[in-house]
């Protein structure tokens, strides 16, 4: 914990301002907060290519995950973007107020050093999720720029993978915090 004290003595009046900042980027509020982040084209879920990505829409998935999070007394925030810089901005915005990130970076998984650097920069633990089994697909999907720095990776289990990631994140957080 970084503590900044400003002490000012004014005549007979002594005032002290104390500002407590987390030095590890952790959320200072009482509730656990998890960010679900989805990358490009995942807004098309349930509308195209259901044989590969399933029949559930992104809204269906987020609604279900929100219910699961509520049952565990955890706040779930969701963002989806087709733009790399917006995903990076969401990662930056999570710093200091989010305990865990669940991310499906979609195609950026296989290309983005910038998203890797953002996740390293904020030090928020994260799980990488893929709906499809990327290892059973084209060679270029076998490499991820994120997997080696993730707490875990789930792929090939469809939308259930997000739920398993959420339950694991909650379990990990409840083990390491007293919230």
Backbone angles phi, psi at 107, to 5 degrees: -65, -25
* Catalytic site includes residue 145: no
In the set 104, 124, 162, 169, which binds ligand CA2 (CB under 6 A)? 104
Binding mask 50-79 vs ligand CA2 (x if CB under 6 A, - otherwise)?
---x--------------------------
- Of 53, 108, 145, 162, which residue is the catalytic one? 53
- Residues 108-137 binding ligand CA2 (CB under 6 A) are 109, 130-132, 134
Residue 81, both tokens: 């973007």
Phi-psi region of 167 (alpha: psi -120 to 50; beta: other; left: phi over 0): alpha
Measure the CA–CA gap between 67 and 145, rounded to whole angstroms: 31
In a 13 Å sphere around the CA of 17, the CA atoms on its Cβ side amount to: 3
| Nearest approach, Cβ of residue 6 and ligand CA2 (Å) | 48
Q: Which residues bind ligand CA2 (CB under 6 A)?
A: 41-42, 44-45, 48-49, 53, 104, 106-107, 109, 130-132, 134, 141
């Amino acid at each position: 914990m970084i503590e900044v004290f400003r002490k000012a003595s004014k005549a007979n009046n002594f005032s002290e301002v104390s500002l407590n900042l987390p030095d590890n980027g952790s959320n200072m509020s009482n509730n656990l907060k998890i960010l679900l982040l989805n990358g490009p084209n995942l807004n098309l879920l349930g509308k195209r290519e259901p044989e590969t990505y399933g029949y559930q829409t992104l809204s269906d998935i987020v609604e279900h995950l929100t219910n699961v999070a509520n049952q565990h007394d955890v706040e779930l925030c969701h963002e989806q973007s087709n733009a790399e810089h917006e995903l990076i901005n969401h990662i930056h915005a999570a710093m200091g107020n989010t305990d865990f990130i669940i991310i499906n970076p979609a195609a950026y998984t296989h290309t983005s050093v910038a998203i890797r650097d953002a996740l390293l920069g904020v030090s928020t633990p994260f799980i990488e999720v893929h709906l499809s089994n990327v290892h059973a697909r084209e060679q270029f999907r076998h490499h991820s720029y994120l997997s080696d720095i993730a707490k875990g990776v789930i792929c090939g289990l469809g939308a259930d993978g997000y739920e398993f990631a959420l339950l694991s994140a909650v379990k990990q957080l409840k083990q390491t915090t007293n919230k």
